A and B are shown apart, each in its own frame.
Chain A
Amino acid sequence: MATVVTVTSGKGGVGKTTSSAAIAAGLAQAGHRTVVIDFDVGLRNLDLIMGVERRVVFDFVNVISGEATLNQALIQDKRLENLSILAASQTKDKDALTEEGVGQVLDQLAEMGFEYIVCDSPAGIERGATMALHFADHAVIVTNPEVSSVRDSDRILGILQSKSKRAKEGGKVHEHLLITRYDPVRVENGEMLSKEDVCDILAVKLIGVIPESKAVLKASNTGVPVILDDDADAGLAYGDAVARFLGEDRPMRFVTPKKQGLFSRILGGGD
């Protein structure tokens, strides 16, 4: 039985694809056979973030429409043998994702022995996003500590709780909150919502806090999931989040400002 983990947010640009790539790579690193699927038909980017953009021959929609087999479309990651990528189609329109078609592909992936199926949802609440949500067992809600992102996350939670397959069958999708682009200095100065504020408002269990980090852009520039960067705070924070997802208890790191020297504190440096 495969577990479907949907990474979603409502709002665009908050780090869904970066988080999908990191979580999928983290689960594979932990020894689980994992596949990550791009649901953003027409605007695919997961291939680029995973560094496999030149290896895409067939995609998700090709498989649904029967033009290719799943084995032909799956791209095996070259760094992690447990990890495969299924790219979205760049040309076809979103209506190509049917509930029946998506369901069949997910079933087939489970039969192939994948333990985790990570679904990278597109922004918005259109078909691609609702399809990614529909089959979720777990949902990772990616939120920036910023008003519009928090509001959209709440909207997505509403959809999860009413429209997902689990909800319709009287069950519940496991919800996890992942706060990204967190700046502890600005939080301390009262310029940014704190992780406690966001948790209070959304009432979802926090699975991780990813600090604002230069490593994220560097990782996407080079097509390497940031979780594989052991020197980066963001990579380590994703590692912690995946460990918590798998049931480990780990303290939050990188959530308080780094210690400043006396001199820069007096002069007000670091703001």
Chain B
Amino acid sequence: MALFGLFSGKKKSSAAAAKERLQILISHERQNRHGPDFLPELQRDILAVVKKYVAVRDDHVSIRLDRAGDASVLELNVTLPEN
């Protein structure tokens, strides 16, 4: 708006950054919301095992528990780095 603002160049607004961070965080927290209490610990342990062999980033492992009928499916997703 202000005259000075015209010359300061475009930066991503801090509100946009806040929204992006919140969306990622909240979707993550919602996934864990309905799962059993041991799920976060299980995820940590599995990550530790995978890391012994492959260098993966913490956020490249996702774990979820789905219930279908009378069976529960534990789904583990590990994104391996290229090479």
A binding-site residues for B, Cβ under 8 Å? 146-147, 150-151, 154-155, 158, 162, 187-194, 197, 200-201, 265-268, 271
Tally of A-B Cβ pairs under 8 angstroms: 57
Let me know if B26 and A191 touch, CB within 8 A: no
Kindly state whether residue B5 has any CB partner on chain A within 8 Å.
Answer: yes
Expressed in whole angstroms, the minimum distance between the Cβ of B75 and any Cβ of chain A is 21
Kindly state whether residue B33 has any CB partner on chain A within 8 Å.
Answer: yes
Give Cα A189 to B34, complex, Å. 37
Pick the most buried of B14, B16, B18: most chain A CB atoms within 10 A of its CB. B18
Kindly state whether residue B68 has any CB partner on chain A within 8 Å.
Answer: no
Expressed in whole angstroms, the minimum distance between the Cβ of A188 and any Cβ of chain B is 8
| Supplied contacts A193-B15, A266-B2, 12 more A-B pairs, CB within 8 Å | A147-B18, A154-B29, A158-B33, A190-B15, A191-B14, A191-B15, A197-B15, A197-B19, A200-B19, A201-B19, A201-B26, A268-B2
Q: Quick one: CB contact mask for B34-52 with A, threshold 8 Å, 1 for yes?
A: 1000000000000000000
Give Cα A8 to B13, complex, Å. 29
Let me know if A267 and B22 touch, CB within 8 A: no
Given known pairs A187-B15, A267-B3, A268-B5, the reply for A147 and B21 (CB within 8 Å) is: yes
Pick the most buried of A187, A188, A190, A271: most chain B CB atoms within 10 A of its CB. A190
Give Cα A265 to B2, complex, Å. 6
Give Cα A191 to B15, complex, Å. 5
Kindly state whether residue B23 has any CB partner on chain A within 8 Å.
Answer: yes
Give Cα A29 to B25, complex, Å. 41
Q: Which residues of B lie under 8 Å from residue A155 when comparing CB positions?
A: 29
Let me know if A190 and B29 touch, CB within 8 A: no
Q: Which residues of B lie under 8 Å from residue A191 when comparing CB positions?
A: 13-15
Given known pairs A150-B22, A155-B29, the reply for A266 and B16 (CB within 8 Å) is: no
User: B13 contacts which of A190, A267, A271 (Cβ < 8 Å)?
Assistant: A190
Q: List 6 A-B contacts (CB under 8 A).
A: A147-B21, A187-B15, A190-B13, A190-B16, A197-B18, A265-B2
Let me know if B29 and A192 touch, CB within 8 A: no
Q: Which residues of A lie under 8 Å from residue B1 when comparing CB positions?
A: 188-189, 265, 268
Let me know if B14 and A190 touch, CB within 8 A: yes
Expressed in whole angstroms, the minimum distance between the Cβ of A262 and any Cβ of chain B is 12
Let me know if B15 and A194 touch, CB within 8 A: yes
User: A266 contacts which of B3, B21, B23 (Cβ < 8 Å)?
Assistant: B3
Q: Which residues of B lie under 8 Å from residue A193 when comparing CB positions?
A: 15, 18-19, 22
Kindly state whether residue B4 has any CB partner on chain A within 8 Å.
Answer: yes
Let me know if A154 and B30 touch, CB within 8 A: yes
User: B15 contacts which of A192, A266, A271 (Cβ < 8 Å)?
Assistant: A192
Give Cα A194 to B18, complex, Å. 11
Q: Which residues of A lie under 8 Å from residue B25 when comparing CB positions?
A: 151
Pick the most buried of B2, B3, B4, B29: most chain A CB atoms within 10 A of its CB. B2
Give Cα A231 to B19, complex, Å. 33
Q: Which residues of A lie under 8 Å from residue B30 when comparing CB positions?
A: 154, 158
Given known pairs A191-B13, A192-B15, the reply for A154 and B26 (CB within 8 Å) is: yes
Who on chain B is nearest to A269 by CB?
B2
Those 10 A-B pairs whose CB atoms lie nearest each other, nearest first:
A190-B13, A268-B2, A197-B19, A158-B33, A190-B15, A154-B26, A147-B18, A193-B15, A201-B22, A193-B18
Give Cα A155 to B30, complex, Å. 8
